[in-house]
Amino acid sequence: MDVMPKWADVVLVPVVSLLLAMVISALVILGIGEDPWAALKLMVQGSFGSTYGWGYTLFYATNFIFTGLAFAVASHASMFNIGAEGQATLGGLGVALVCLALPWPHWALALPAAMVGGALFGAAWAFLPAWLAAKRGSHIVITTIMFNFIGAAVLNYMLVNVMRPAGSMDPASAKFPDGTNLPSLHDILAVVGIPFSKSAPANLAFIIALIACVVVWLLIWRTRFGFELRAYGKSESAAVYAGISPTKIIVVAMLISGGLAGMMAVNNVMGEAERLVLNSVEGAGFIGIAVALMGRNHPLGILLAAILFGFLYQGGAELALWMSIPRELIVVIQGLVILFTGALDNMVRMPIEKIFLAIRRSKQAAGE
């Protein structure tokens, strides 16, 4: 029986959790001797106050949409894919290899190839954990964590020993050819005559992320496979009884998940850095978990949550720039948001449920 109406579950609980996380964050800012109200104003101003700010906010949000969708797809099949970090790292490698392979004449040709490259490498990195989970019963959480570390080592090896241009000390790949440079939001919006900051990194990948949201929604709620995925996620035994193959669901769900995480590299590697560097993912894989949790594993929710985290990232960078608050404040706020919206969900939910129960009882009593 649903105690709460749907809107309370989808909107009220996350908003209250978020408020709690914000209150604690404000106390942390107070604790290190700064003014939380001024900090919040600066964050909002810095991330939404100009098209330059928006450009950064949407750039970060693009990363989080991909990793959030990646986590959500696996989550619908009851798989806890904590490996988006490693899958996105390998996706970066795939994108870089594609971009450096040919002297691409135009981005319109390079983009589909890079998307396939990123998705393939990301999916490949998810395959072994998925296969081990399906066939050998290995715990997917532990194997994907291990693969994050192995992936970091692989990237390190490739950059230091293979992809580093001769004579360069920097563990990074060569710069991609000009034909792979994606149009920025400035270029895209200029077509329809909307002025947008030229120096912000948001690019075409944001549009691809929006399309990915729609595709994932269609996949999960409008296809036969999506139905099987959700059925398996709700009850494994019922799904098996209905003739759904667990191996197929686990492996395909994880491949899609890894592929989405890998496609993130189109944004950060191809769209922004235009070369492959160490640690280009910068924790976006883990933030995807928070984004999917807040967004209740629904693409629309993930989009909104990703923009919220994009705001935190860009706002946090502004804080580090203009106030004497280290950038690590963002990490603290992230941790608090994940803690309250994810782990302590019941702490918020239980009292709200009690309130709704009380209201219902008093209504029943009045009706009799």
Partner 1 sequence: MDFSTLIQVLDSTLRLATPLLLACLAGLFSERSGIFDIGLEAKMLISAFFSAAVAYTSGSVWLGLLAGVAASMVFAFIHGLASITFRGNQLISGVALNFLASGMTVLIAQSWFQQGGRTPSLIGGARFEGVELPFAIGPSDAAAAGRPLNEMLSEAGPLQLFYSELISGHSILVYIALAAVPATWWILFRTRFGLRLRAVGENPAAVDTAGISVVGLRYAAIGIVGILCGLAGAYLATGLQAGFVKDMTAGRGYIALAALIFAKWRPWHALGACLLFGLLQALALRTDVVETLFPFKMPVQLLDSLPYILTVVILAGFVGKAIPPRAGGQPYVKER
Question: Of 154 and 219, which has the nearer Cβ to partner 1?
Answer: 154
Taking alpha carbons only, the member of 250, 261, 340 closest to residue 293 is 340
Instruction: Give the burial class of 127: count Cβ atoms within 10 A of its Cβ; 0-12 exposed, 13-18 middle, 19 or more buried.
Output: middle
Q: With binding defined as CB under 8 A, does residue 173 bind partner 1?
A: no
Question: Cα(130)–Cα(114) distance, rounded to whole angstroms?
Answer: 24
- Pick one of 335, 352, 355, 356: the residue that binds partner 1 (CB under 8 A): 335
- Pick one of 27, 30, 153, 211: the residue that binds partner 1 (CB under 8 A): 153
Using an 8 Å Cβ cutoff, are 254 and 74 in contact? yes
Residues 346-365 within binding reach of partner 1 (CB under 8 A): 346-347, 350
Q: With binding defined as CB under 8 A, does residue 80 bind partner 1?
A: yes
* Secondary structure of residue 160 in the 3-state scheme: helix
Q: Nearest approach, Cβ of 107 to partner 1 (angstroms)? A: 32
Using an 8 Å Cβ cutoff, are 269 and 92 in contact? yes
- Pick one of 1, 2, 7, 33: the residue that binds partner 1 (CB under 8 A): 33
| Residue listed under structure tokens 């020993």 | 161
Q: Containing H/E element for 188?
A: helix 185-191
Question: Of 267 and 334, which has the nearer Cβ to partner 1?
Answer: 334
- Pick one of 332, 353, 355, 356: the residue that binds partner 1 (CB under 8 A): 332
Backbone angles phi, psi at 277, to 5 degrees: -120, 170
Q: Nearest approach, Cβ of 141 to partner 1 (angstroms)? A: 6
* Secondary structure of residue 23 in the 3-state scheme: helix
Question: Of 178 and 328, which has the nearer Cβ to partner 1?
Answer: 328
Region from 4-12, 217-225, 337-345, 360-368 binding partner 1, contact rule CB under 8 A: 337-345
Total residues in contact with partner 1, by rule CB under 8 A: 50
CA-to-CA separations, 363 to 248, 273, 357, in angstroms, rounded = 48, 59, 10
Residues 92-151 within binding reach of partner 1 (CB under 8 A): 128, 132, 136-139, 141-143, 145-147, 149-150
Region from 178-186, 251-259, 302-310, 327-335 binding partner 1, contact rule CB under 8 A: 327-335
Q: With binding defined as CB under 8 A, does residue 293 bind partner 1?
A: yes
> Residues 222-261: x/- map of binding to partner 1 (CB under 8 A)?
----------------------------------------
Question: Of 266 and 289, which has the nearer Cβ to partner 1?
Answer: 289
Residues 191-220 within binding reach of partner 1 (CB under 8 A): none
Q: With binding defined as CB under 8 A, does residue 161 bind partner 1?
A: yes
Question: Cα(123)–Cα(143) distance, rounded to whole angstroms?
Answer: 15
Question: Cα(143)–Cα(127) distance, rounded to whole angstroms?
Answer: 11
Region from 111-119, 198-206, 211-219, 320-328 binding partner 1, contact rule CB under 8 A: 320-328
Instruction: Give the burial class of 368: count Cβ atoms within 10 A of its Cβ; 0-12 exposed, 13-18 middle, 19 or more buried.
Output: exposed
Question: Cα(258)–Cα(118) distance, rounded to whole angstroms?
Answer: 10
Question: Of 137 and 167, which has the nearer Cβ to partner 1?
Answer: 137
Question: Cα(78)–Cα(252) distance, rounded to whole angstroms?
Answer: 13
Q: At what angle do helices 246-265 and 205-222 cross, to 10 degrees?
A: 170
Binding site for partner 1 (CB under 8 A): 28, 31-33, 80, 82, 128, 132, 136-139, 141-143, 145-147, 149-150, 152-154, 156-157, 160-161, 286, 289, 293, 325-326, 328-336, 338-339, 342-347, 350
